[in-house]
Amino acid sequence: MPIDFTCPHCGHHTMVADQFAGQAGPCGRCGQMVTIPGAGGPPPPYGPRQSKAGVTAIIVVGIVGVVLLACGLGYYFLMKGAGYARNAARRTANSNNLHQISIAIHNFHDVYGHLPAHANYDPNGKPLLSWRVHVLPLMEHGQLYERFHLDEPWDSPHNSQLTSQMPIVYRHPEDTGADGKTRYLAIIGPGTMFPLQPGSKPETGIGTLRLADIPDGLPGTLMVLEAPPEQAVIWTKPDDWQYTPQSLDQLAAYVAERKYVLAARADASVSALKSDTGREDLRHLLEINDGK
């Protein structure tokens, strides 16, 4: 079959016998060297067609990629949402614990007419058991309270056996250990709600301060706070957050770093100390009679 050929140099069009396909020679008009194409004609301009199987494979790979991407994004947002949910649950549990503790302190005040002392004391002036022990009957833990020897220190052979019996209300939601330690500490020291003074009957754990003795008002005074993990104490031990200029600096730094520290106020409400709560603001909240 003759080959329809056009010279690429001069455009001369002619029919060439197919026996010359693939051979080179001068153009009959312009004399330029040309090559006669094969009988099948020039190769298709856009390359070979892909088979249907190849196209299908590309589509499948694309779909799988989209599905995997969607699953990855879904898992990311699911885990992120779960993290928010866990944090919210911990924050709620933390607030509930502080509220129950502050209500127990108020109930103690209602029963005895005074707030609990930091601890009860022996005849030599040695603190024995924390206020956390003495408010147990006001939190429906009267049976546990009855098991303590109130005339012995927290680490006596008998009382030390009760360390592991810490009520769940004293366990911070972020703490998982069963070491009998709590991060809920009263604010103690001169000028605070727990002034480190034995009551009129030191052995009872009843303090000298009444709610009416807080000139700055109950909403503006802190009573109990959540302390950093490294400051956790044995719950029966008369050891709390002692107010000093140095500890005030530490608390301000902790609040700024954590950005959200819960504390119970003297009116039994619970609120957050946020990162913008400055040192002076904290001082006014800790002191019961600074006029602020």
**What is the DSSP annotation of 245-262?**
HHHHHHHHHHHHHHSEEE
Query: Does 248 fall in a domain?
Result: yes
For residue 282, being part of any structural domain is answered with yes
- Exposure string of 133-160, with b = 16+ CB inside 10 Å and e = fewer, is bbbbbbbebeebbeebebeebbeeeebe
Question: Has residue 160 been placed in a domain?
Answer: yes
Q: Is residue 53 part of a domain?
A: no
Residue 175 contacts residue 183 (beta carbons within 8 Å): yes
Q: Which domain holds residue 262?
A: 93-286
Is 237 among the domain residues? yes
Is residue 51 in a domain? no
What pLDDT score was predicted for residue 244? Answer: 94
pLDDT, averaged in runs of 10, over the chain (292 residues): 72 68 72 68 46 66 69 59 67 94 97 96 95 96 97 98 96 86 96 87 92 93 93 96 94 88 95 89 91 78
Task: Please tell me the total count of domains within the chain.
Answer: 1
Q: Is residue 224 part of a domain?
A: yes
| 45 assigned to some structural domain | no
